[in-house]
Amino acid sequence: MSQGMATSGKTRLLIVDDSMFMRMAISAMCELRDDIEVVGEAENGDEGVAMAGELAPDVITMDLDMPKMDGITATRLITEQRRVPIIILSSLSERGSELTFRALNAGASDFVCKSASALDVDLSTIAETLVEKIQHWGKQARLQAAPASSGTAALGLQQHDLAFAMAGEGGPQALSTLLQGIQRLRMPMLVAPDLPPPMFGPFLRFLETRIALPIFAAEDGTALGHDRVAVLPPGQVARLHFAGGGPPTLQVTAQPGPAGTPLATLLDSPGLGERKLLVMALSALHADTTAAGRLRALGHTLVAQHPEHCIARGAGDELLQSGLVTAGMGLEDIKHLVMEGQADG
């Protein structure tokens, strides 16, 4: 396995995991794909760092709890030498969630949650997601920057009363990039992330280390502002209440069953037709196109992150195919719609 000699067009993968079962399982999953080549397997962080330098893989999967050197340290050492997408395999627990976001801060690009119990790992539940993410990050290494929407300048001139960001799979990374460097927003912002409950607290702490704006969990009666970002906890939806010409306050309630979505609930906000929202679909698996269409008909603005740059491109594809947005946008272009003045880097 000599460096740089992989078959053209294949994503070259390095697997770093102290579990022989996991290494064999991930390797077997990838062998079923003709666009992924496993170029190495390391059983601890020390070996992973060495093999990353020797093999120059396109993508690395990284376990967190390993002997000799943990996954966070290995991730930091690898990315200090060379920018390579690293996908963290994390347990879906409070501790696992905290370690996952520490790994993202250390330079990891993405994560996949497995069972909180090492004895209860059902790979069939994560196999498809893991393979899709390996393919995505392998493609990103070769992908040129996506074209910005031709309507970016015109959108930037419009005034909006609220920015509402929908963020699913890949949302933490997209939000971090979008908000990084912004000191003040052009409008209040509310974020609806699609996250398991154990990951919500670590997610907020992750963003606190990456962005300048204060970020907090939205509660009933929360007043929104230009100098902070409100985030809906998992299982919660919100309606907006506008008082005069001031910023909106929130009525936060539990999500009303499978039919209710954060976007659909916004449509019940009193006086919404007299206001103007900027609705942003970031990396996510699905978009509520019915609610999005109703908001569009009321004159609100819809934008979508370019699907080619999304970890989960489903939402962007759905909005593009339905004609609710005319083009995908890069995160830097979306940033110029929400920031007041210039972003600091």
Question: Does residue 305 contact residue 282 with C-beta atoms inside 8 Å?
Answer: yes
SS3 content of the chain, % helix, strand, coil (to 5): 40, 20, 40
Neighbours of 273 (CB within 10 A): 12
Q: Do 152-338 and 11-140 fall under one CATH topology?
A: yes
- Position 328 scores a pLDDT of 86
| Alpha-carbon span 116 to 240, nearest angstrom | 37
- CATH, domain 152-338, list 3.40.50.2000, 3.40.50.300, 3.40.50.620, 3.40.50.180: 3.40.50.180
DSSP H/E element including 157: helix 152-157
Number of H helices, E strands in the chain: 12, 14
User: Residue 312: helix, strand or coil by DSSP?
Assistant: coil
* 103-140 burial code (b ≥16 CB/10 A, e <16): bbbbbbbbbbbbbbeeeebeeeebbebbbebbbbbbee
Distances (CA, A) of 44 to 21, 67, 73, 131, 134: 14, 6, 11, 22, 20
| Alpha-carbon span 28 to 25, nearest angstrom | 5
- Position 344 scores a pLDDT of 40
Question: Does residue 297 contact residue 279 with C-beta atoms inside 8 Å?
Answer: no
Amino acid at 320: L
> Which pTM value belongs to this model?
0.79
Neighbours of 154 (CB within 10 A): 9
| Alpha-carbon span 332 to 138, nearest angstrom | 22
Domain assignments of the chain as residue spans, ordered by start: 11-140, 152-338
DSSP H/E element including 279: strand 277-281
Label residue 153 exposed, middle or buried (CB < 10 Å: 0-12, 13-18, 19+): exposed
Amino acid at 262: P
| Alpha-carbon span 201 to 76, nearest angstrom | 23
- Position 345 scores a pLDDT of 38
Ramachandran class of 235: left when φ > 0, alpha when ψ lies in -120 to 50, beta otherwise: left
User: Residue 88: helix, strand or coil by DSSP?
Assistant: strand
The set of long-range contacts for 258-262, using a CB threshold of 8 Å and a minimum separation of 24, is 261/237, 261/288, 261/291, 262/164, 262/166, 262/192, 262/232, 262/237, 262/238
CA 225 to chain centre: 23
- CATH, domain 11-140, list 3.50.50.60, 3.40.50.2300, 1.20.140.10, 3.40.50.720: 3.40.50.2300
Structure token digits, residue 176 = 């971090």
Q: Residue 94 contacts by C-beta under 8 Å, 6 or more apart in sequence?
A: 198, 201, 202
Neighbours of 188 (CB within 10 A): 23
Counting as low any pLDDT under 70, the low residues of the chain are: 1-8, 92, 115-125, 141-157, 245, 256-260, 341-345
